[in-house]
Amino acid sequence: MNSRFPTDFIQRIQQQFGDASTDFLKALSNDVVTSVRYNPSKLQSLSDVAAEPVSWCKDGVYLSQKPIFTLDPLFHAGCYYPQEASSMILDWILRSHTELPENPIILDLCGAPGGKSTLIANFLAGKGVLVANEVIKSRANILAENLMKWGYSNCVVTRNDPSDFGRLPSHFDVMVVDAPCSGEGMFRKDERAIEEWSESNAAMCASRQRRILTDAWATLKPGGYLIYSTCTFNPAENEENIQWLLEGNKAEIIPLNAPNNWCISSLGIGNGNALAFYPHKSKGEGLFVALLRKRGEESAKEVNLKKTKSKEKSKTPAVVANCIKDSKNFYFAEDSNGWRAFPNQFVNDLLFYLRNLSVVRYGVEVGQIIKGRFQPAHELALSVDINPEAFNICNLSHGEALKYLKGEILQPPSEMEKGYVLISYHGSPLGFAKNIGTRMNNLYPTSLRIRMALPE
């Protein structure tokens, strides 16, 4: 029994969990539970009637079975994100354990592929700003793509080392550090996590986590919140790291009192506690999470954003501004790829990031004007801020939508005017096509197209 797991790991679990270790290890080989979190700006509920709510997340549900997400157009429309349930605890922590300003500025430091970033975007619901960061280039691109699909304009994706955030002292109201870890909580889901596990690797992860926390600490405002999580059971990466932060007297721990029927374990640390999801108790993968509040008073001079005038509205072509709902609330900027829109209220923060960080993506790409003609960008179709009145809309059936997502040419409906058409499925936009009369050219980006064969 348990031969899937390294001997050193089994021994540590036996020490850590005593009599419960048998149940723990058995449960770590059970089937994975599928869950998704939907995007309330795009979809009110899921069609799976058997879906059971995730108690700690208002938008999370367990699915009765695992679908092929690739074959669901709503997945491509950014209507939901497959996310394992334990990670959704961030929703409950943000909603019921933090006191935040009206427009919080939130950093997701270790952001890819974007599970927590998309959750934070929903929590913000267009207010404040989310800076979603990922240090590894290929993963930063995936993070940018997932946030693009999710559709909120108040997000900035960066690719920086945690130490780079030292250039933004006392800036963020919340810093989420979902740290790279030894991944024991993923053993059920991912065989590679088992293969890569070793005691020495787990120890390396613990010291890397301390380095990440030390490097990024200055960017959190005094009075701001650190939400630290890992998907491992290893105390050195979890409670010992939190204890280390508390000993430095830099922060206080905020207790997290989860209801008993959620079956989440509480780990006492200092005069508070953290939460741990264990496989034999709660319905989800392994996760550790703690909430801390940085000590100290905020000093006004630390937040040093240079005031910059946003671009005059008259310089933004009307055809561009007309693509965005409530365009007066947006700052429009043109770069080599075309026009982008970002909430006006936070333009100084954005310019500050553009000067100090490596920004991969921000706001929403609206489109470009080529030889005097406007061409909408794919991002615009997926934006929750698109002005739907700016385009003709063509609603597709399930089969047609999959063909569109595969890149096939479509036939235009008989009375549709020529020009750009917003292609949608069940009322959710998927992308654009160009109606040239005899056919509609497919503008769905090649890199995002479905590659698998479609069912007959």
134 binds ligand SAM (CB under 6 A): yes
110 binds ligand SAM (CB under 6 A): yes
Catalytic residue among 79, 110, 205, 231: 231
| 31 is an annotated ligand-binding site residue | no
> x/- site string to ligand SAM, residues 61 to 90, per CB under 6 A?
--------------------------x---
224 binds ligand SAM (CB under 6 A): no
Taking CB under 6 A as the binding criterion, the range among 26-34, 114-122, 260-268, 283-291 that sits at the site for ligand SAM is 114-122
289 binds ligand SAM (CB under 6 A): no
Q: Residue 272 pairs with which residues in a beta bridge?
A: 269
Element holding 419 (H helix, E strand): strand 419-425
- Per DSSP, the three-state class of 455 is coil
111 binds ligand SAM (CB under 6 A): yes
147 binds ligand SAM (CB under 6 A): no
Query: Helices marked H in 162-269 — which ranges?
Result: 191-196, 199-216, 239-247
Specify the residue for token string 């506690």: 273
Nearest Cα neighbor of 439 from 404, 399, 412 is 412
DSSP string, 79-124: SEEE--GGGGHHHHHHHHH----SS-EEEESS-TT-HHHHHHHHHH
What is the C-alpha separation between 2 and 11, in angstroms, rounded? 11
114 binds ligand SAM (CB under 6 A): yes
Backbone Cα Rg of the chain? 23
Taking CB under 6 A as the binding criterion, the range among 106-114, 240-248, 300-308, 365-373 that sits at the site for ligand SAM is 106-114
What is the C-alpha separation between 453 and 455, in angstroms, rounded? 7
| 161 is an annotated ligand-binding site residue | yes
Cβ of residue 286: shortest distance to ligand SAM, in angstroms?
Answer: 12
Taking CB under 6 A as the binding criterion, the range among 14-22, 26-34, 108-116, 383-391 that sits at the site for ligand SAM is 108-116
The one among 57, 112, 292, 433 contacting ligand SAM by CB under 6 A: 112
For the chain, the distance separating the N- and C-terminal CA atoms, rounded to the nearest angstrom, is 42
Q: Which is nearer to ligand SAM, 30 or 163 (CB)?
A: 163
Name residues whose C-beta falls within 8 Å of residue 314's C-beta, 6 or more positions apart in sequence: none
CA–centroid distance for 258 within its chain: 23
Q: How far is CA 348 from CA 78, 147, 381, in A?
A: 28, 21, 26
* Tokens representing residue 389 in the block: 């009145």
* Tokens representing residue 161 in the block: 């080392």
Q: Residue 291 pairs with which residues in a beta bridge?
A: 227, 254
Query: Helices marked H in 228-383 — which ranges?
Result: 239-247, 318-321, 347-356, 378-382
Cβ of residue 178: shortest distance to ligand SAM, in angstroms?
Answer: 3
The one among 40, 180, 223, 255 contacting ligand SAM by CB under 6 A: 180
What is the C-alpha separation between 16 and 10, in angstroms, rounded? 10
What is the C-alpha separation between 118 and 115, in angstroms, rounded? 6
Cβ of residue 351: shortest distance to ligand SAM, in angstroms?
Answer: 24
Q: Which is nearer to ligand SAM, 134 or 385 (CB)?
A: 134
Q: Which is nearer to ligand SAM, 205 or 402 (CB)?
A: 205
166 binds ligand SAM (CB under 6 A): no
| 335 is an annotated ligand-binding site residue | no
Q: Which is nearer to ligand SAM, 136 or 452 (CB)?
A: 136
What's the half-sphere exposure (Cβ side, CA atoms, 13 Å) at 385? 30
> x/- site string to ligand SAM, residues 196 to 215, per CB under 6 A?
------------x---x---
Taking CB under 6 A as the binding criterion, the range among 104-112, 348-356, 379-387, 434-442 that sits at the site for ligand SAM is 104-112
The answer to whether residues 62 and 89 touch, using CB atoms and an 8 Å cutoff, is: no
205 noted as active-site residue: no
116 binds ligand SAM (CB under 6 A): yes
Cβ of residue 108: shortest distance to ligand SAM, in angstroms?
Answer: 6
Cβ of residue 18: shortest distance to ligand SAM, in angstroms?
Answer: 28
The one among 125, 136, 318, 454 contacting ligand SAM by CB under 6 A: 136
269 binds ligand SAM (CB under 6 A): no
178 binds ligand SAM (CB under 6 A): yes
Nearest Cα neighbor of 345 from 105, 39, 94, 98 is 105
Residues that bind ligand SAM (CB under 6 A): 87, 110-116, 134-136, 139, 162, 178, 180, 208, 212
Binding residues: 134, 161, 178
Catalytic residue positions, numbered: 231
Binding residues for S-adenosyl-L-methionine: 134, 161, 178
